[in-house]
């Protein structure tokens, strides 16, 4: 029973390039959260998705950032025209249902993006 899989684990991009971060939730999980963590800081919520729907993107920067969770395949966080300030660890978490219970979110190992 594989956990939440994120790839790549490390990604280096030059300023102006695009970064694509992938997240495959745990089997049976249909809810995905993306968080960003800057060095020495806490997790900042970016976006919450269900299959084919963006539920809450209040934490996403207005420009250059987008996310999707298609019916088939992993969730993708896309950052266009990256800048140095985008360098951070990006964590994906998944959960099975959203309604009740101690259904904690399980985290992937994160993608560490470095913009040079």
Partner 1 sequence: GQNIDQPTEMTATEGAIVQINCTYQTSGFNGLFWYQQHAGEAPTFLSYNVLDGLEEKGRFSSFLSRSKGYSYLLLKELQMKDSASYLCAVRDQSGGYQKVTFGIGTKLQVIP
Residues that bind partner 1 (CB under 8 A): 31, 33, 35, 41-45, 48, 55-56, 91, 93, 98-100, 102, 104-110
What is the SS3 assignment for 86? helix
Between 7 and 45, CB nearer to partner 1 = 45
Question: Long-range pairs for 38-46 at CB < 8 Å and ≥24 separation?
Answer: 38/88, 39/88, 43/91, 46/77, 46/90
Dihedral over Cα of 98, 102, 103, 105: its sign = positive
What minimum distance in Å lies between the beta carbon of 45 and partner 1?
6
What minimum distance in Å lies between the beta carbon of 107 and partner 1?
4
* 28 vs 97: CA distance, rounded Å: 9
Between 35 and 65, CB nearer to partner 1 = 35
Between 42 and 85, CB nearer to partner 1 = 42
Token pair for residue 21? Answer: 């971060």
Between 11 and 43, CB nearer to partner 1 = 43
* 12 vs 113: CA distance, rounded Å: 6
What minimum distance in Å lies between the beta carbon of 51 and partner 1?
14
What minimum distance in Å lies between the beta carbon of 104 and partner 1?
4
């Amino acid at each position: 029973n594989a956990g939440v899989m994120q790839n790549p684990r490390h990604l280096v991009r030059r300023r102006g390039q695009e970064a694509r971060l992938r997240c495959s939730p745990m089997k049976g999980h249909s809810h995905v959260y993306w968080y960003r963590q800057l060095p020495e800081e806490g997790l900042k919520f970016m976006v919450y998705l269900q299959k084919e729907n963006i539920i809450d993107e209040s934490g996403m920067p207005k420009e250059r950032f987008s996310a999707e969770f298609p019916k088939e395949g992993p969730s993708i966080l896309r950052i266009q025209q990256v800048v140095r300030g985008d360098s951070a660890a990006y964590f994906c978490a998944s959960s099975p249902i959203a309604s009740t219970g101690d259904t904690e979110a399980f985290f992937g190992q994160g993608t560490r993006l470095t913009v040079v």
